[in-house]
């Protein structure tokens, strides 16, 4: 059901935690399945210099949170908000259709953190809003929540 990369990021998540003096914080959740993600970032010269996450959710939610932190570190904030659900799923060698909402949540969490950073610094958000759409074609299902 899950790729080896998904299982690796679930069993060995990278960048777990919270940056205490974060420049931006993004908190997102899915009320249907109960997944909750918090992404914190440090920004230097408009580049994501550090990033951490906390996720309450299924294995796919943890894996997508973990992989987006690896993808975004070192990227410009403009490039980071361009990370899409498709890129996240591709980086994980795919996700089951019923778990694609987890990649949407991870992308939205990063976008929210970048927007928070920008607003705190008197700048306009650049994310273009959340990627999630209420008319997603896939069924949303999650396993028993796991706290990291």
Catalytic residue list: 33, 102
112's CB contacts (< 8 A; 6+ apart) are 25, 26, 27, 28, 39, 127, 130
Q: What is the chain's alpha carbon radius of gyration, rounded to the nearest angstrom?
A: 14
DSSP, collapsed to helix, strand or coil, labels residue 3 as coil
Instruction: Tell me the three-class secondary structure of 115-146, residue by residue.
Output: HHHHHHCCCCCCCCCCCCCCCCCCCCCCCCCE
- Specify whether the CB–CB gap between 15 and 72 falls below 8 A: no
Which stretch of DSSP H or E encloses residue 73?
none
């Amino acid at each position: 059901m899950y790729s080896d990369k998904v299982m690796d990021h679930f069993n060995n998540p990278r960048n777990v935690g919270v940056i205490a003096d974060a420049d931006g914080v993004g908190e997102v959740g899915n009320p249907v399945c109960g997944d909750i993600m918090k992404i914190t970032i440090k920004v230097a010269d408009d580049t994501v210099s550090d990033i951490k996450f906390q996720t309450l959710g299924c294995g796919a939610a943890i894996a997508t949170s973990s992989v987006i932190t690896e993808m975004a570190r070192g990227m410009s904030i403009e490039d980071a908000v361009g990370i899409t659900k498709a890129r996240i799923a591709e980086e994980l060698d795919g996700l089951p259709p019923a778990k694609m909402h987890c990649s949407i949540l991870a992308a939205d969490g990063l976008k929210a953190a970048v927007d928070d950073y920008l607003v705190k610094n008197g700048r306009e958000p650049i994310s273009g809003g959340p990627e999630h759409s209420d008319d997603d074609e896939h069924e949303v299902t999650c396993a028993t929540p796991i706290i990291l």
